[in-house]
Structure formats: structure tokens, C-alpha cells
Amino acid sequence: ITLYHSTTKNGTYAPVSPAVAAPNYNFNVKSAGTTYTATGSHYYYAKLDRTGYASTYTDTAEYVVGALPDYSKSGLAAGKAMATSQTDMAVTVDGPKDDLTLCNNLGIQLSTSNMSTTGNDATVEGGIPNNTNYYWYKGTTATVPDRTNLNDYISLNATVSLPVSGGLSNHRPAADGTPAYYYIYRQYKRDTKINSTGANKTCTAIFKVGNPVKVTVNPMPTKPTAIAGATKDKCSGDTVILTTATTPATAPTGSSWTYRWLKNDVVDMPAFGTAALTGLTPGVSKTVTNSGTTVAKETYKLRVYAATTAGCTDSVDLGSITVNINPRPTITAPTITAPSDKVCVGKTLDLTASGASTNTGTLVYQWYKMAGATPDTTTDTKVVATSGKYSLTTNRLTVTGVEGTSGTDGKYYARVVVGGQCPAAALSTNQVPVNVKPLPQLGDAFTVTTCNLAGYSANICSDETQAQIVITPKEEAPYDGYTYTYAWDKGTPVTGQGGNYRSVGLTIGTTTYKATIT
């Protein structure tokens, strides 16, 4: 069978090439060449040649090749790129953009809003199209491929969102830095008369719209695993050590890690500044305070800031330390008073601490004897009740002068303490010296001189009608500086006499005189 073709019904017919082959005898007009696919009428007849038979000609048939819609007349400029933006960022990227690079924690939005339109779809050759959807596709090359169908599209909307997860996230580029390209196609159709019998054929055209958008998604940085947290109970003024049970791992290749301690979610704590903490064991110290009367709580988080060389950043809290800060009592220091700074051997001297107070708890008084020039409870001697030396009451220390300790006994001060979970203490505002003085031995320290009536003794008084007894303290240490008082008695107390007793109008006989000296 030979198929003949002409562009006019009564014109010159020529065999089509290639020849129609058995057994189907079908001829693909489109693949035969432009001679047979030009828009307009085409005429065909077939001739059967078989040995021993006469040639047979079929009737001439007319077929009309319709024109496909011409998209360029729609007024959409193919040179404009699609708009892109990162949907999870506060700032939207506006304007034509040929490519977009972002990190895998951001969504992607593709839009046709930047494509120039100066006409409308009604200007498409052949009439208004019956399909005006946008067909979105993803590919691996910047060259927009031709398509014969639009069956496996991503979306038909003018704007397409590719979130991080869910929705159309499966159409995102791989998060490994390998770019993907996004294309838009539009499809138009028109009905065309195909043959002389009046049957119609729908002609479909698929057009590439705009420039493709190149989107590159870089991976997020690798983050270390969490570290177990801890709880610490401290008192106001204590030092807490911020440390981790284990040293975090080293950042892998392509990522960098920077550590920060956060106090109550604030990054820059004055005690630590903003320096990276690469050595987290044994840690850093922080003095905690609580000026209130109830327990305060502070939380210290260890946060790692991770980054990649591509500029993707992320952070994660590895663990936390909760510090319960118990308040310490507030104490007003006492002042020590004493009636004297001297005590005789065998006598007592009371030192009294007064004026101390606290906002909570019960005050306990402790007494110390100084070993150096300044008070130091770690080296000074703590006073304990000792028979014959010290006795203690609530806020009073009684010191007894002891034989052999004459001179400066030492300086004493008080320390007031409030006990409990968070004890507090305060030293007295002053220190009191104690000097021990010996008692005078009167039998050895005084001389007695008498003078009698003339003729009865070698000691002759200047006035023979009088008798005189003189008691004189010895002028030798350690009794210098003492004040003496005398009390006389000659059977009955005698007043008005000092160290020299003079009796007037003596009579013969024996009289006993007694002097009590203090």
C-alpha cells in the first residue's frame, strides 16, 4: 500500500515517506516531516499494488491540521523569574530572585507574583483556554525540560509553600546543599476540525512559564547530646560550682560549638561574661545571694550554640543546674562593757555583750581570748566554762583572777551565732582587756612603830603625855599604787584615826590596840 499526499484536492500527489508498512498500514503524520504537519488542509489517497491484481485507488480524504495555541500572545513575559521567600523568617524576600539558599529550619514559598502580565488569557490564539492552572514541578537542572503531559505536578496554585515538615515538605530539596529547580507550566487547549466529515480534535499545548528558581537547602548543624542536670542547696553568700558530670563531645567536622551558661535564661551573666566555656569540668564558680527571708531559686542552663560553615545556626539546652538559695540571718553585732579592766586574784570581773539582734532564729554567744593583734576565731582561744577561771551565762563572761597571772591576762571579745541550715555570725564591735592584780600581804608589807612614856622604853615620844602607834606600808612592788584605809579598835571602835594612831592622856596599865588595814 502506497499513501499519496497533496496540499490541494486536485493537485499533484506524491508518495509519503516512509512508505506504509504491513501489517497495520498506519501512517504517523507528525513523524513524517513538516510537509505533512503544516497548518491547513491535507489530502490523501491510498493505492494497493499486488502482483496479479489491478491497482485500486481509495477515495480522496481531506484532513485539517489545526494550529496549537500560541502562548506568547498571552502577554506573560517568559523572562521573569518566580518570586521566592523564606516563610519562617520575619523578613520576606521580595522581587525577582533566580535562586534561594537557606537552612533546613526554614520553610520555602514559591510565588508567581513577580511574573509580568500585560494582557490576559483571552488573547491566546484560538480563544479562551479552558485550563488556566499553574503546574509546578521540581527538577535537577536549570534547563526547563519539555513535557508531553502534566500528570505528576506538585501544585496547581499560584503560590506554593514547602514547609519544613508536613504538607508539601516531601518536595523540598534535599538538605545536603544539592540544589533543586522549580518550574511552572501552563496548558492551553483548542478544538480544531480534523476531517471533512466534521469531526473535531482538541489540540493541547503545554508552555514553559518564566525562569526556573534554584533552591539550595543546607543542613542544620549537628548538636551534642543532653547532659544530666542537678539540684544544689546553698546559702546566701555561698559559692556554687557550675560544672557538668561529663565533658561534652567535640563538634564534628563542618560544625562548631560554642557553650554558654545562662542564668534564668539570660545569656550574659556578669560573673562569666560572654567567653566560650570550652572546659566545663571542673567548671566555673558563682557566688549566690539571697537578701530575702524565703528560699530563692536560680536556674543555670548550659546551652550550646551550633553553627555550620554554610552559616546555619541552632542551639540546644544540654542540661541545667537548679540552685536553691536559702537566706542567711541578719545579725546586729554586740558591744562589750565591763566595770573595770582590772580584777584581783580570787575576785571576779563581768564582761557583758549587749545590743545584739537578729531577724530570725536564736542568738548564741561565744567568747574568745585573742592570740594576736586582731580577732580571728580560727586561731584565738575559745573560752569554755572552767572552774575557778571562767563562768558563762547567756550573754555574760565572768573572769576570775587567778594567782600567778598578775599583769595583762588578755583581750576578750564575743561572737554571736544563729544556727540552722544557713548559720550566720557576727563579732562584737570591740575587745575588752583584763588585767589581773595580786592581793597585798599586809603582814609582810607594813612596819609598826610605837613610842611609850618616858622611862619605860627606849622609844621616847616627843610628848611624854601621849603614846603613838605608826603603821607604814613598805614601798616595794607589787604594792605600789594601792590606797590603804585603816580601822582602829581598843576594845571599842575608834574613829577619826588614820595610819598614825595617837592616844592622849595615857594611864599606867596595859591597853590592846587593833588595826584593820584594807
How far apart are alpha carbons 499 and 377 in whole angstroms? 50
The pLDDT assigned to 283 comes to: 62
- Give me the long-range contacts of 459-463 (CB less than 8 A, separation at least 24): none
What are residue 317's DSSP bridge partners?
303
DSSP 3-state assignment of 73? Answer: helix
Q: What letter would DSSP give residue 78?
A: T
Pull the grid cell for residue 145. 525540560
Query: Which amino acid, 41?
Result: S
Pull the grid cell for residue 472. 607604814
403: nearest Cα among 431, 441, 371, 367: 441
The pLDDT assigned to 174 comes to: 95
3-state secondary structure 212-227: EEEEEEECCCCCCCCC
117's CB contacts (< 8 A; 6+ apart) are 75, 76
Q: Report the residue count for the chain.
A: 518
DSSP 3-state assignment of 445? Answer: helix
The pLDDT assigned to 480 comes to: 54
Pull the grid cell for residue 96. 525577582
The pLDDT assigned to 277 comes to: 42
Backbone angles phi, psi at 59, to 5 degrees: -65, 150
Pull the grid cell for residue 397. 563572761
Place of cell 594576736: 372
Can you give the pLDDT of all 518 residues of the chain as single tens digits?
A: 778 888 888 888 888 776 666 666 666 665 555 567 777 787 887 777 666 666 666 667 777 776 665 554 343 444 455 666 655 433 333 344 557 888 898 888 888 776 544 433 434 444 444 456 788 999 999 888 988 888 899 998 888 899 999 999 999 999 999 999 999 888 777 666 666 566 677 777 787 777 788 899 999 888 877 777 788 899 998 888 777 666 666 778 888 887 777 777 776 443 333 334 444 445 667 788 888 888 999 888 887 888 898 888 888 888 888 999 999 899 999 999 999 999 988 899 999 999 999 988 899 999 999 999 999 999 999 999 999 999 999 999 999 988 766 667 889 999 999 988 899 999 999 999 999 887 766 555 556 666 655 444 445 455 555 666 666 665 544 455 667 787 888 888 888 777 666 666 666 667 777 878 77
Pull the grid cell for residue 460. 621616847
Other C-beta atoms closer than 10 Å to the C-beta of 416 total 23
How far apart are alpha carbons 414 and 333 in whole angstroms? 9
135: nearest Cα among 148, 120, 122, 152: 152
